Amino acid sequence: MKKFAVFGNPIAHSLSPVIHNMFAVELNEAISYEKICAPVDNFESSISTFFNSENAKGCNVTVPFKENAFRMASELEKGAKLAKAVNTLVRNDDGSLSGFNTDGVGLVNDLLNATVSVEGARVLLLGAGGAARGVVHPLLDAGVSHISILNRSFDKADILAQEAEDSRVVAVTVNDSSNIADIDIVINSTSASLSGLVPAIPEGVFDNNAVAYDMLYAKEPTRFMSFAAKQGAKIQLDGLGMLVEQAAAAFKIWTGKQPDTAPVLQKLRIMLANENRP
Ligand code: NDP
């Protein structure tokens, strides 16, 4: 049986085992998939122990280890290189590890599933942390016309915009009216919702009938989604679909098989609604 896992700290609430086990049933793959809480100061040895098992084929990596995984991979796919973060590792036949970042493709596929027009869209990306890093290039590859990055610490937005090396990407402040006009999609990649907060958002940004996307997901609409709804956002989406889509992309890397994500997302929504999680 092929062995997979997700590494994080904390990891108890991860939905990844549920998602991957559903994919495996759907595609008739015999797998095991466990949650591993790696020590914050010893991720590398946890990974080595896991891959010592001959059946261990790959793993997912989540907060706070995506940069450690990036450093451990001897080969990196383009998305991971640009994001400087890895959420999917694969063990090659010679024992070396290849690193991928499927978060961005997960976001783009989730937007497309929701019939959001990504090609030609003007995007306002709130936040400049690891999640924002992972989505900039997949959004550019999907044909967006412009990305304005707005972050609480401007310097981080500026560095991310410069590293993108694409004239469509700029760092902005909350008052930069020219770059935040006519926005089609507002993506919240900040962790502000985790503390029940809404990040600073330029006034009138939803006036263009913009779509609001929060990478966070919860049982109820997040604070950002409720705020956007009040401001007139066309639709509000949370990040559960992104989670399922990034998992599907990882599953395809490991097995060569593309899962059907819609029934899995539907089951997770029901699970989440009945679960006692914040
Ligand atoms: P990081 O810690 O790397 O970055 C956090 C970002 O949020 C930084 O830009 C930080 O700004 C900003 N921020 C934090 N608190 C506030 C606040 N109160 N007001 C304004 N900005 C704030 O986290 P990640 O980028 O890894 O993750 C961000 C979010 O994305 C998390 O909620 C995570 O769960 C979610 N996520 C969802 C995924 C999915 O599949 N749905 C995948 C990956 C992430 P500053 O730079 O100034 O500190």
| Segment 198-212, tens digit of pLDDT | 999 999 999 889 999
Ligand 1 within 6 A of CB of 113: no
Instruction: Establish whether residue 153 lines the binding site of ligand 1, counting it when its CB lies within 6 angstroms of any ligand atom.
Output: yes
For the chain, which residues score pLDDT lower than 50? none
Nearest CA to ligand 1 atom 37: 215
As given in the structure block, the two tokens for residue 270 are: 């029901």
**Beta pairing class for 2-8 and 31-37:** parallel
DSSP output for the chain: -EEEEEEESS-TT--HHHHHHHHHHHTT--EEEEEEE--TT-HHHHHHHHHHSTTEEEEEE-TT-HHHHHHH-SEE-HHHHHHT--SEEEE-TTS-EEEE--HHHHHHHHHHHTT---TT-EEEEE--SHHHHHHHHHHHHTT-SEEEEE-SSHHHHHHHHHHHT-TTEEEE-TT-TTTTSS-SEEEE-SSGGGGT------TTTTTT--EEEES---SS--HHHHHHHHHT-S-EE-THHHHHHHHHHHHHHHHS-----HHHHHHHHHHHHHS---
Q: Which atom of ligand 1 is nearest to the CA of 194?
A: 32
d(CA 160, CA 163): 5
- Ligand 1 atom nearest to CA at 246: 40
Contact between 87 and 102 under an 8 Å Cβ cutoff? The reply is: yes
Q: What is the three-state SS of 69-101?
A: HHHHCCEECHHHHHHCCCCEEEECCCCCEEEEC
Q: State in Å: Cα 190 to ligand 1 middle.
A: 3
Give dist(CA 211, CA 234) in Å, integer.
5
What is the per-residue pLDDT for 276? Answer: 67
* Ligand 1 neighbourhood includes 84 CB (under 6 angstroms): no
Q: Which two tokens stand for residue 165?
A: 């090396």
The pLDDT tens digits of the residues spanning 10-37 come to 999 999 999 999 999 999 999 999 999 9
pLDDT value, residue 222: 94
236, amino acid identity? Q
pTM as predicted: 0.96
How far from chain centre, in Å, is Cα 23? 18
Question: Parallel, antiparallel, or unpaired for β 97-100 and 88-91?
Answer: antiparallel
**pLDDT score for 277:** 60
